[in-house]
A and B are shown apart, each in its own frame.
Chain A
Amino acid sequence: GAGVSQSPSNKVTEKGKDVELRCDPISGHTALYWYRQSLGQGLEFLIYFQGNSAPDKSGLPSDRFSAERTGGSVSTLTIQRTQQEDSAVYLCASSRGTGHTGELFFGEGSRLTVL
């Protein structure tokens, strides 16, 4: 595809349910990032994948959050037992990943609302 694709664009769920958010990065981009943006706030780093290396999970806020990247391409962010404070826009970005980080290409985000 031409850009980073995220789905669903909107997700409303009940507290305690699990959700999965998907990110399809730009073809050939080896680096993939997940960020979270709460209303009117900046971007909070969650997790970073680079090629076949072990992901950097240092930004995940709790063990209810996990992510995987299959075949070095599509990534899924899973939030278990959702809480109201998980409500936010979840943004995925990819980059070429060579050397120090250059331009990130962002998807349109998945807006999660936990009732």
Chain B
Amino acid sequence: SQQGEEDPQALSIQEGENATMNCSYKTSINNLQWYRQNSGRGLVHLILIRSNEREKHSGRLRVTLDTSKKSSSLLITASRAADTASYFCATVSSGGSYIPTFGRGTSLIVHP
């Protein structure tokens, strides 16, 4: 079953614009992770945010976490054509399971 669900399913923007993707989940988490997947490739870890954190930055990436709303957002600033990929959130529950549960992903297209 899917724990995290990303929104929107697809996003199309112009280079230079910001891209925002959201992830909602159902149960209490220990941490939430964002991954990127280029077409036909494996997933690459982008950023991990723990349940006691509210915001993290990494380069052009900004992740926020609102545990009261059970949601997270990934913001990519000043997007580039090379950012075109699918983005997935994965949640690790606080209930003792060590298995990250992935959503269906957001497909991002950045037009040059």
**Chain B residue total in the interface (Cβ 8 A):** 22
In the complex, which residues of chain B have a beta carbon less than 8 angstroms from the beta carbon of A109?
41-42
Contact, CB under 8 Å: B102 / A35: yes
Pair B42/A108 contact, Cβ less than 8 Å: yes
Bound complex: CA of A8 vs CA of B31, how far in Å? 32
Which residue in B43, B104, B105 is a CB contact (below 8 Å) of A104? B43
A65 at interface by CB-CB < 8 Å: no
Contacts of B21-42 to chain A: CB distance below 8 A: 30-31, 33, 35, 41-42
Binds B, one of A11-19, A67-75, A76-84, A95-103: A95-103
A97 CA / B2 CA spacing, docked (Å)? 22
State A101–B31 Cα separation when bound (angstroms). Answer: 8
Identify which of B45, B48, B102 contacts A43 (C-beta below 8 A): B102
| Cβ contact within 8 Å between B43 and A91 | yes
How many angstroms between the C-alpha atoms of A102 and B41 in the bound complex?
Answer: 21
Chain A interface: which size bin?
A: 20 to 34
How far does the Cβ of A12 sit from chain B's closest Cβ, in whole Å? 16
Q: Mark out the residues of chain B between 95 and 111 whose CB falls within 8 Å of any chain A CB in the assembled complex.
A: 98-105
Q: Are A31 and B41 in contact (CB under 8 A)?
A: no
Are B42 and A107 in contact (CB-based, < 8 A)? yes
- Contacts A48-B98, A101-B92; A42 near B48 (Cβ below 8 A): no
Query: In the complex, given contacts A33-B100, A42-B104, what are 15 additional A-B residue pairs having Cβ atoms less than 8 angstroms apart?
Result: A33-B99, A41-B104, A43-B43, A43-B90, A45-B102, A48-B98, A50-B98, A91-B43, A101-B30, A101-B31, A101-B98, A104-B33, A104-B45, A104-B100, A106-B42
